[in-house]
Amino acid sequence: MRDATPGTVFLEDYQAPSYLINRTELHFELGEEDTILTSRLYLLRAVPDDVPLQLHGQELELLQLSVDNEPLDAAAYQVTDDYLLIHKLPEQCVLTCKTRIKPQDNSSLEGLYKSHSMFCTQCEAEGFRKITYYLDRPDVMSVFTVTIDADAGRYPVLLSNGNLLEATALDNNRHRVQWHDPFPKPSYLFALVAGDLQHIEDSFRTAGGRDVTLRIYVEPKDIGKCDYAMDALKRSMRWDEEVFGREYDLDIFNIVAVDDFNMGAMENKSLNIFNSSCVLAHPDITTDAGYQRIEAIVAHEYFHNWSGNRVTCRDWFQLSLKEGFTVFRDAEFSSDMGSRTVKRVEDVSMLRSAQFAEDAGPMAHPVRPESYIEINNFYTLTVYEKGAEVVRMIHTLLGAEKFRAGSDLYFSRHDGQAVTCEDFLLAMEDASGMDLGQFRRWYAQAGTPVLSVADSYDAEAQTYTLEVSQRCPATPGQAEKQPFVIPLAMGLLGDAGNLPVKLAGEEPDHDTDDNTHRVLIIDREQQQFVFEGVQEHPVPSLLRGFSAPVRLEYNYDRDALCQLMSRDGDGFVRWDSGQTLALQVISEVQAQLSRGEAAAVDPLLTGAFTRLLEDESLDPAMVAEMLALPGEGYLAEQAGEGAADVDLIHRARQRVKQAIGEAAEQVLLARYHGLASDEAYQPVGEQIARRALRNSCLDYLACANPAHLALASEQLASAGNMTDRLAALKTLAFHAEEADWTQPLADFYQDWRHETLVVNQWLQLQAAMPDAGALERVRGLMEHPDFDLRNPNKVRSLVGGFAGQNPVNFHRADGAGYRLLADVIAQLNSINPQIASRLLAPLTRWRFYVGRQELMRGELQRLAELPELSPDVYEVVTKSLQ
């Protein structure tokens, strides 16, 4: 049924625009008090009838309006909070509109705003309407010419999309530049930057021989932190040519770093704007994980030039068309730059802990949602990460070659258009001859499917049978689900390694070089697969490479998990088997602790982990991933609704960690010392792997015996890079009862207080510390001179860090953690609704937490009753309470 909440937008109501804007000319006069903008829109009616023109516009002061240079009289138009309505327009005309805005007062960081002394814009999804009256929808594409006037002293650098046409000096120490972007684009890709910026420059020659000037603009304080991103940009450009056949299409590509930014970065045509935390890097201030994130985000935004900009979305329900595809592309890039298996493990553990939770909560929605109140609430893990998994499944089903043919067809067929997920699927079908009819359910049905597998072995017949069934839990508005198409990559493990897999009645496949691996297609509720010529009872290796975003149910015994963990041919399955084993052991310890018994940690687990550490032939990065126990959030999610006991989960997980540390103490020490190196820091795979494993050894050693905290102190004193320094500091801080952590934290602040990005990490570390004083400390830090509620990075580090990474304190039994979060959200609701709404996520999981449901709901209720709730917060709060 269609819900009738006022303000809900529905996909099924989509209508093509009744006017087009062929050309858009914008003239900005930037000032300290306000900004005056004169727009000239070259309009063309696209329907036969004389319908009124309805332009979007919010928080604008209208100063003048004329049609074909004739001022409009007041009866010819109407202004409301959200629209400018103009009646009786000629079929073709030029609309001139002068408005005043106040970027200085814009704390939503949407539209035109100020970050420090710099002007910048963020228009996706619907921010352009806060700049001027416009058809602010992605299917209206226009050629933009932008003129910017500003004070030459304060704003020597003036940027917009496309090519620079001219720069001239004006009176009163002002100057003017004009930019022209030859590619028609929707308003959400418009950008403007003005400031006293410095830049680094490089160049790139495309495969077709075009020389592109590449620049990264930053505030002067950050000029020494741009080199890594420039390198990543050049690697991305080359990779997109080689792997997707996509070349850059202008002579200039700019990146600008800003400190106040709502998300990671934005792909504005030829003028990408980045959250400074996602582009600035230096070994003194950036961790290995930070470097990898920067590389991935630079690539992601660059790849949007084709998957997003040249071919864009018809409407915002199609968001995954560009985001799911681009996340898939950036993940492939990162896999090619580093270790494919490690990248896959990182992505899957994030998907399973956070996206699965979203899919199981009140905000669950399909990859292509059917309705929304506030589109900003749908830039989600489902649209991005699950959307990327859906594209990955198409890649698996078609194979690399046909997938590439589908991608080529999609780009050539739709270049310059605003299209739908359906168009993407049609191109994939047309290029491959594959029918993706039933596969489309991945776009329409929400929820995480459960794949349930049972098996049997017939020793006499030498057959092995898998019984596979699928189901999908109900989600809001979708009680019943139809079967999905699920590619199940698998193999069979025998005593001497992986066995050939041959389905009964099938000829052996001579085309494939690997007869021990295959992909079963699950497309009904229940299916049976019989393998023949199976000479021993195998252990099934299932969902290799995480071939589909599903929960797998198979009753593995611990011996089988150990076998898979040490010997399976698939790296992902080796990791996943270790996770399942750890999960089983942690649950067992939870049960023991809840009965008041002493914990008995299964030596099978500690033994398996010890052997991983002993085997120096393994990739240290993979060993580090395998040693990482499932997170507390994931364990809570696995417990199910009404069953997660945060304190018990924390205690059990710590107990297991300690047992592993004790059992492996000698090899941990040996590896900790053996992995040390005095090489100069470089953010390269081999070094990153070594540091990751070494720091994970340190973590286990500290859990095994507080005496080893001395190693952390030594490491903190001698570290030559931020990865090792922060890991050591975290080890001390997370053992607050045994370690002296206050002085090291204070010293760290003194050393790094001049680097905002480091201060943010310092805030986040303190927010995540599990000691009993955490909540009071966080309240205190909110008063710290370096904290600022208006800066999203600070809020994410401190408040987001507390609510998302400190389960025992956020879920305090007295409800004080929930209160703290709700207090901040109430304040942010008027300052920055997007950030306020994103902070709500941990509260939306209230159904899971035993003994906390009423407290959590109570805070949601309190928020629901606030006056003047933003649509962003309103939508999440009301849907969570339903």
Catalytic sites, residue numbers: 301
Which of the 8 DSSP states describes residue 169?
E
Residue 201's DSSP bridge partners are 215
**Residue 217 in the binding site for ligand TRP (CB under 6 A):** no
- Lay out the site mask for Zn ion across 102-141 (x = CB under 5 A, - = otherwise): ----------------------------------------
Q: Are strands 9-10 and 111-115 parallel, antiparallel or unpaired?
A: unpaired
Q: Determine the Cα–Cα distance for residues 561 and 542; give it in Å rounded to an integer.
A: 11
Of 261-269, 410-418, 604-612, 741-749: span binding ligand TRP (CB under 6 A): 261-269
Within 324-353, the residues that bind Zn ion by CB under 5 A are: 326
Of 117-125, 492-500, 521-529, 676-684: span binding ligand TRP (CB under 6 A): 117-125
On whether the CB atoms of residues 524 and 441 are closer than 8 A, the answer is no
Q: Which residue is at the shortest CB distance from ligand TRP?
A: 263
Amino acid at 156: P
Q: Which of 448, 440, 274, 478 is nearest to 348 (CA)?
A: 448
Of 12-20, 263-271, 358-366, 479-487: span binding ligand TRP (CB under 6 A): 263-271
Tokens 């795979």 — which residue?
Answer: 685
On whether the CB atoms of residues 365 and 378 are closer than 8 A, the answer is yes
**Residue 379 in the binding site for ligand TRP (CB under 6 A):** yes
Torsion (CA) 325, 328, 330, 332 in degrees, nearest 10: -140
Q: Determine the Cα–Cα distance for residues 282 and 277; give it in Å rounded to an integer.
A: 11
| Cβ nearer to ligand TRP, comparing 376 with 432 | 376
The binder of 263, among ligand TRP, Zn ion, none, by C-beta within 5 to 8 A per type, is ligand TRP
The residue length of the chain stands at 882
- Lay out the site mask for Zn ion across 694-733 (x = CB under 5 A, - = otherwise): ----------------------------------------
CA 554, distance to chain mean position in Å, is 29
| Cβ nearer to ligand TRP, comparing 222 with 385 | 385
Q: How far is the CB of 376 from Zn ion (least distance, A)?
A: 14
| Cβ nearer to ligand TRP, comparing 262 with 470 | 262
Q: Determine the Cα–Cα distance for residues 457 and 517; give it in Å rounded to an integer.
A: 19
Q: How far is the CB of 831 from ligand TRP (least distance, A)?
A: 15
Choose, by CB under 6 A, the member of 122, 145, 307, 723 that binds ligand TRP.
122
Choose, by CB under 6 A, the member of 25, 124, 347, 859 that binds ligand TRP.
124
On whether the CB atoms of residues 870 and 833 are closer than 8 A, the answer is yes
The binder of 28, among ligand TRP, Zn ion, none, by C-beta within 5 to 8 A per type, is none
Residue 383 corresponds to which tokens in the numbers above? 């649209």
The binder of 266, among Zn ion, ligand TRP, none, by C-beta within 5 to 8 A per type, is ligand TRP
| Cβ nearer to ligand TRP, comparing 160 with 498 | 160
Amino acid at 89: L
| Cβ nearer to Zn ion, comparing 147 with 326 | 326
Please provide the DSSP assignment of 442-461 as one string: HHH--S--EEEEEEEEETTT
Q: How far is the CB of 297 from ligand TRP (least distance, A)?
A: 8
Of 120-128, 364-372, 648-656, 680-688: span binding ligand TRP (CB under 6 A): 120-128
User: In the Cβ-directed half-sphere of 263, how many Cα atoms lie within 13 Å?
Assistant: 20
On whether the CB atoms of residues 872 and 374 are closer than 8 A, the answer is yes
| Cβ nearer to ligand TRP, comparing 390 with 608 | 390
On whether the CB atoms of residues 494 and 540 are closer than 8 A, the answer is no
* Widest distance between CA atoms in the chain: 95
Q: Determine the Cα–Cα distance for residues 471 and 475; give it in Å rounded to an integer.
A: 12
- For the four alpha carbons of 549, 555, 558 and 562, in that order, the dihedral sign comes to negative
**Residue 880 in the binding site for ligand TRP (CB under 6 A):** no
The binder of 379, among Zn ion, ligand TRP, none, by C-beta within 5 to 8 A per type, is ligand TRP
| DSSP H or E run through 333 | helix 319-337
**Residue 263 in the binding site for ligand TRP (CB under 6 A):** yes
Q: Determine the Cα–Cα distance for residues 531 and 464; give it in Å rounded to an integer.
A: 5
Q: Determine the Cα–Cα distance for residues 705 and 739; give it in Å rounded to an integer.
A: 11
Interacting residues of 882 by C-beta distance below 8 A, sequence separation 6+ = 362, 476
Helix (H, G, I), strand (E, B) or coil at 831: helix
| Cβ nearer to ligand TRP, comparing 385 with 859 | 385
| Cβ nearer to ligand TRP, comparing 267 with 859 | 267
- For the four alpha carbons of 261, 265, 267 and 269, in that order, the dihedral sign comes to positive
Q: How far is the CB of 323 from ligand TRP (least distance, A)?
A: 6
Of 50-58, 122-130, 794-802, 843-851: span binding ligand TRP (CB under 6 A): 122-130
Integer angstrom CA distances of residue 726 from 343, 394, 821 = 22, 40, 26
Q: How far is the CB of 300 from Zn ion (least distance, A)?
A: 6
| Cβ nearer to Zn ion, comparing 316 with 787 | 316
Q: How far is the CB of 189 from Zn ion (least distance, A)?
A: 12
Q: How far is the CB of 388 from ligand TRP (least distance, A)?
A: 11
Interacting residues of 619 by C-beta distance below 8 A, sequence separation 6+ = 339, 342, 689
Residue 104 corresponds to which tokens in the numbers above? 């200085």
Q: How far is the CB of 838 from ligand TRP (least distance, A)?
A: 11
> How many amino acids of this chain bind ligand TRP (CB under 6 A)?
12
On whether the CB atoms of residues 246 and 240 are closer than 8 A, the answer is yes
Q: How far is the CB of 129 from ligand TRP (least distance, A)?
A: 14
Please provide the DSSP assignment of 847-860 as one string: GGBTTTHHHHHHHH
- Lay out the site mask for ligand TRP across 281-300 (x = CB under 6 A, - = otherwise): -------------------x
**Residue 266 in the binding site for ligand TRP (CB under 6 A):** yes
On whether the CB atoms of residues 566 and 550 are closer than 8 A, the answer is no
Helix (H, G, I), strand (E, B) or coil at 501: coil
**Residue 276 in the binding site for ligand TRP (CB under 6 A):** no
Of 13-21, 54-62, 262-270, 650-658: span binding ligand TRP (CB under 6 A): 262-270
Residue 44's DSSP bridge partners are 20, 92
Angle between helices 227-244 and 288-303 (to 10 degrees): 50
Of 119-127, 544-552, 751-759, 841-849: span binding ligand TRP (CB under 6 A): 119-127
| Cβ nearer to ligand TRP, comparing 319 with 564 | 319
Within 322-341, the residues that bind ligand TRP by CB under 6 A are: 323
Q: How far is the CB of 300 from ligand TRP (least distance, A)?
A: 6
- Lay out the site mask for Zn ion across 310-329 (x = CB under 5 A, - = otherwise): -------------x--x---
Q: How far is the CB of 213 from ligand TRP (least distance, A)?
A: 22
| Cβ nearer to Zn ion, comparing 323 with 637 | 323
Choose, by CB under 6 A, the member of 126, 136, 301, 374 that binds ligand TRP.
301
Tokens 């009786």 — which residue?
Answer: 88
User: In the Cβ-directed half-sphere of 794, how many Cα atoms lie within 13 Å?
Assistant: 19
Choose, by CB under 6 A, the member of 160, 262, 277, 292 that binds ligand TRP.
262
**Residue 265 in the binding site for ligand TRP (CB under 6 A):** yes
| Cβ nearer to Zn ion, comparing 304 with 796 | 304
Q: How far is the CB of 262 from ligand TRP (least distance, A)?
A: 4
Which residues lie near ligand TRP (CB under 6 A)?
A: 122, 124-125, 262-263, 265-267, 300-301, 323, 379
Give the interface with Zn ion as residue ranges (CB under 5 A).
323, 326
